[in-house]
Chains A and B, each alone.
Chain A
Amino acid sequence: MLVVKGAKIYPVLGTTLERGMMIINDQGRIHAIGENLPVENGDRVLDVTGKVIIPGLIDAHSHVGMWGDGEGRPGYDGNESVRPITGEVRALDAVNPRQMSFAAAREGGITTVQIVPGSGNPIGGLGFACKTQGTVIDEMVVKHPTGLKGALGENPKRAHGHGQKQAPATRMATASMIREYFREARTYGEQKDKAREEGRPFRTDLNLESGLLVLRKEIPFRVHAHRHDDIVTAIRICEEFDIHYSIEHCTDGHLIADYLGKKGITAMVGPGLSAASKVETKDLSDENPAILARHGVDVCLMTDHPFLNCRYFLHYAAIAHKYGLPFEETLKSITINPARALGIEDRVGSLEVGKDADFLVLGGEPFSYKGAILQTYIEGQRVWEREVY
């Protein structure tokens, strides 16, 4: 057993412990959390008196391990944008756990991450959730798949219409191709069911299998959308097919927050702190997370690493807090909200008995510059510690 003591603990779910203790078992799970817990002989003790503990952060949308940080082109595997519909590709097959971006994630306090394919394709492939420590990706996986990536707006148009003179060249075509994909997947599912009933052999189509998972509500459709009308289009299509979905980026969400609140959507908001690099992001606002949350949107922050360097995820949260996202809501937006949105809240997202002992030791209050991350723990193991330069 490992006993962590002396710190103020924000468990996220449950009350804040001023002089909190956690007992962590040898399987890396939280055995007990509270104040004045009994310590037995033989327990290792981590005394972090005066420090602050929060759960390990969950980055709701990232490209760690697949964008080639510091490696140039050979390490880049983000977008299979040679054709627009690629439901068959999986981020899981492209992620290099030894890539330096994983160390960056641990430094940034990110212990769990959803990794998704890029946004060059209207249908981009499957994403998954994993821990950020390890060398074999299959051993790091928390859940696979966690969603099917889709994309609206400028990126698919640029990758295909402008780059290769093929559809989609307009927002209209992007929407129609997504619709056509789900229609095909629906027909495919019906034929598959029928074949099974009749005991006939059936040829598996990996591209449409992913769409079928979405249609059967086993995974959500995760739609990249920045501009307000792209967000509205995403919702329109998802309602037509009666599927679960999240809006990825949701940059203009603050312009249509009433509508999004009424729809009760989940939004993965970010990358924070970024520049308005495209026309479709010209109205980006640091107030976006606060405005969305105020209108009832389920807000999960995300780095979209490398577009916000994931080392600075907690700083993005601090800025969201500065611009009006309440303290508790801000903490939730980087822990339990994304855990729930990814369907992994039984393991991560808060510090509770039975959950993984993924936590951060901070030098002070979260969202203060004195609250730098000093140590990152995954399943009771220290996986990163601040170096003194």
Chain B
Amino acid sequence: MLGIRDVTIVTMQNGTMTKGDVLLADGRIKAYGEAVDLAGCERIIEGRGRVLTPGLIDAHTHLGLSESGVGREGTDTNESTHPLTPYLSVRDGINMQDQAFESFRRAGITTVGILPGSGNILGGTGLALKCRGDIVDDVVLKDPIGMKAALGENPKGLYGERKQSPATRMGNAALLRSALLRAKDYLNKGEDHPRDPQSEALIPVLKREIPLIIHVHRHDDITTAIRIANEFGVKCHLAHVTDGYMVTDVLKRGGVYCGVGPTMHYPSKVENKERDFRTAVVLDRENIPFCLFTDHPVVDGRNLVLTASIATQWGLSDESALAAITVWAARYLGVENRVGSIAVDMDADLVLWSGNPLELTTFVDMTIIDGEIVYQRGMQPC
């Protein structure tokens, strides 16, 4: 058992309390509040009034797939040999020795969503992972979280350049539609037909067990994504949503959950020339559910909390900014029953901060995942 004494607890669900204590056991939060009985703890961390938040969640990254400091040999993000590869799983491409894992822990990030790249119309399934350990299978939080899909410039650029389909946005949409249609027929035919790996992989999407997570920047791509999802009655999350502020009615009618990012990156393409914090601020005001993400390594994941800080400079409240990288990110990944807030029986994923987490000069003093201290400032990693 691990105890944390005298901290300001930012629960993200149930307000903030000063002078609180937290008791952790078996990788879970056993109790928190005023004067929790910490007798029997093997170790007690003295908070001395510092701030304790849930571990941060970066809901959309390529951590371990696009490895840091390795170059080409460490890149396994896009299987850009065919535009339809829904049968791939990022689980088979993640290098847990990617040096970025340590920098994520140092930045207070305890859970990540990892997704395939956006070169393919259907790229494969993504998962949610704890940022610890050496064996990917030991630290999977949820797999799959959704099926990655992509619209806009990336697929049409990649394949169009080779004079293959898709070469236009029309081609993008047609490929997505026909893949879903084929899978629907496949599902309706039952067992009595040859196995089709593409359609097989899309069955959980059609059964609404997992969402499509659709890469969209431009407003019309957002609209197309929702149009196609509605045609097939599938669940849909959006990723990037750069132009989201222009089409809030569409987003509301679609009932979609938006992952917004990488907001700090420059406008690298025509389709993301509107990249800005405006969308996050407007979605918050319009009560459209969203989270902020880095798209690591497009923006390095260690800047996740900085992203939230900058969002406040554009008008997002401190509370919303923190929620966008904790509890709302957990909802985006469908893991909010385990992580993203401080409550009894939630996973013991916590960050102890030297001050206000949003202040630019505040340090992560300690990161805890599943009740274990995985990073402590001033201590070399073992």
Contact = CB atoms under 8 A, between A and B. Distances in A.
Contacts of B306: 273, 315, 319
B139 interface: no
Contacts of B299: 273, 275
A318 B361 contact: yes
A288 interface: no
Given A273-B300, A273-B306, A282 B270 contact: no
Contact of A389 (B278, B358, B362): B278
Interface stretch (A68-76, A90-98, A117-125): A68-76
Interface string A49-91: 0000000000000000001011110000000000000000000
Contacts of A319: 306, 360
B315 A389 contact: yes
B99 A282 contact: yes
A369 B312 contact: yes
Contacts of A389: 245, 277-278, 281-282, 314-315
B299 to A, nearest CB: 8
Interface string B256-272: 00000000111111101
A282 B71 CA distance: 9
B155 to A, nearest CB: 16
Interface in A264-319: 273-279, 281-283, 286, 305-306, 309-312, 315, 318-319
B132 interface: no
A48 interface: no
Contacts of B265: 309
B351 to A, nearest CB: 16
B359 A278 contact: no
12 contacts: A100-B273, A273-B299, A278-B71, A279-B69, A282-B99, A309-B265, A311-B264, A368-B361, A369-B313, A369-B359, A386-B314, A389-B245
A286 B107 CA distance: 12
A373 to B, nearest CB: 8
Contacts of B273: 69-71, 100
A69 B267 contact: yes
B251 to A, nearest CB: 16
A377 B313 CA distance: 19
Given A274-B300, A312-B310, A72 B360 contact: no
B360 A318 contact: yes
B93 interface: no
Interface string A349-369: 000000000000001000111
B303 interface: yes
Across the A-B interface, the 10 shortest Cβ-Cβ residue pairs: A282-B69, A70-B273, A275-B297, A372-B313, A70-B267, A306-B266, A276-B69, A318-B360, A275-B300, A276-B68
B5 interface: no
Chain B: interface size category: 35 or more
Interface of B: 68-71, 99-100, 245, 264-270, 272-273, 277-278, 281-282, 296-300, 302-303, 306, 309-310, 312-315, 358-363
A321 interface: yes
B17 to A, nearest CB: 23
A333 interface: no
A309 B264 contact: yes
B233 to A, nearest CB: 34
A372 B273 CA distance: 22
B269 A283 contact: no
A104 interface: yes
Given A277-B297, A389-B282, A69 B266 contact: yes
A101 interface: yes
Chain A: interface size category: 35 or more
A305 B281 contact: no
Given A309-B264, A312-B310, A369-B309, A321 B69 contact: no
B278 A312 contact: no
From B266, B282, B313, name the one whose CB has the most chain A CB atoms within 10 angstroms.
Answer: B266
A282 B68 CA distance: 7
Contacts of A101: 266
A279 B70 contact: yes
A282 B313 CA distance: 31
Contacts of A310: 266
A328 to B, nearest CB: 15
Nearest to A74: B270
A70 B267 CA distance: 5
B106 to A, nearest CB: 10
Given A273-B303, A368-B359, A72 B297 contact: no
Given A321-B361, A368-B361, 13 more contacts: A69-B267, A69-B273, A70-B272, A273-B303, A276-B68, A276-B300, A309-B265, A315-B310, A319-B360, A322-B362, A322-B363, A369-B310, A369-B360
A273 B264 contact: yes
From B100, B265, B313, name the one whose CB has the most chain A CB atoms within 10 angstroms.
Answer: B313
Contacts of A279: 69-71
A305 B267 CA distance: 11
A57 to B, nearest CB: 16
A382 B218 CA distance: 31
From B298, B303, B314, B358, name the one whose CB has the most chain A CB atoms within 10 angstroms.
Answer: B303
Contacts of B314: 386, 389
B248 to A, nearest CB: 12
Given A273-B306, A282-B68, A369-B358, A70 B297 contact: no
Nearest to B282: A389
Nearest to B316: A389
Given A319-B306, A389-B314, A389-B315, A72 B269 contact: yes
A72 B303 CA distance: 26
A384 to B, nearest CB: 14
B160 to A, nearest CB: 13
